[in-house]
Structure formats: structure tokens, C-alpha cells
Amino acid sequence: MSETRQVKQAIVIHPTDNVATALIDLVTGNQLSFPWGHSKRMVIVKQPIPRGHKIAIRPIAVGMPIVKYGEQIGVAASPTEEGAHVHTHNVTSTRVSRKQEIL
């Protein structure tokens, strides 16, 4: 008897997050499912996303905060569609570096 195990592909921690974190390398066309209130939200991966990187789980306009784990980690530098890779090419960081904290 074979057992089917479903591998979790990405994770969203907080209900205000607009990005998920890839737990495995994601390929174009992957379908991701996230809790959304009392239902599930489906997101289709638009481009390859490496493990550990972020994926937009809803459209993000220029200037909107990027929220991960319930915390703002940056601001969108370009429009980002749902299912797209969210990384340094389309985000301006709002995190303070350790060097700035010390000064």
C-alpha cells in the first residue's frame, strides 16, 4: 500500500502578509494553496522561484509595503503581479542595517 505525501511548497505566517516564502524551488505553473479567512486562496507561480525566496500572493502596486511574517520588510519598487518573484529586483528594503543601528 503506497502512501501519498503532499509536500508543503510555501508558507504564509500572518494574515496581513502579501508574500509567501518558498519552502522548495518553485517552477512556473505550480499551484499554491493558502488559508484565506474560512476558505483557501489559489496562487499560480508565474516564474521560477528559488527556495527561501518570496512570492507575491496578491498584486502589489509600486510604493505598497511588502509584508512578511506580519512585518513590513520593504516597499515595492515596481508593480508585482500575484504569483511573481519578490526579491531585490522589485523591492526597496526598509530594514535598518546592523551598522546603522550601532551608529
- Domain CATH code at residue 85: 2.30.130.110
- Domain with 86, as residue range(s), is 10-102
Evaluate whether residue 5 is within a structural domain: no
User: Over the stretch 19-57, which tens digit does the pLDDT of each residue have?
Assistant: 999 999 999 999 998 877 667 889 999 999 999 999 999
Question: Is residue 99 classed as helix, strand or coil in its secondary structure?
Answer: helix
Question: Is residue 19 classed as helix, strand or coil in its secondary structure?
Answer: strand
In one-letter notation, the amino acid at residue 29 is: G
User: Over the stretch 55-93, which tens digit does the pLDDT of each residue have?
Assistant: 999 999 999 999 999 999 999 999 999 999 999 889 998
Asked if 53 and 47 count as a contact pair (C-beta separation under 8 A), the reply is no
Evaluate whether residue 27 is within a structural domain: yes
Evaluate whether residue 2 is within a structural domain: no
Evaluate whether residue 1 is within a structural domain: no
As for how many domains the chain has, the answer is 1
CA atoms of 85 and 7, how far apart (whole Å): 20
pLDDT at 59: 96
Query: Does residue 2 carry a pLDDT above 70?
Result: no
Evaluate whether residue 94 is within a structural domain: yes
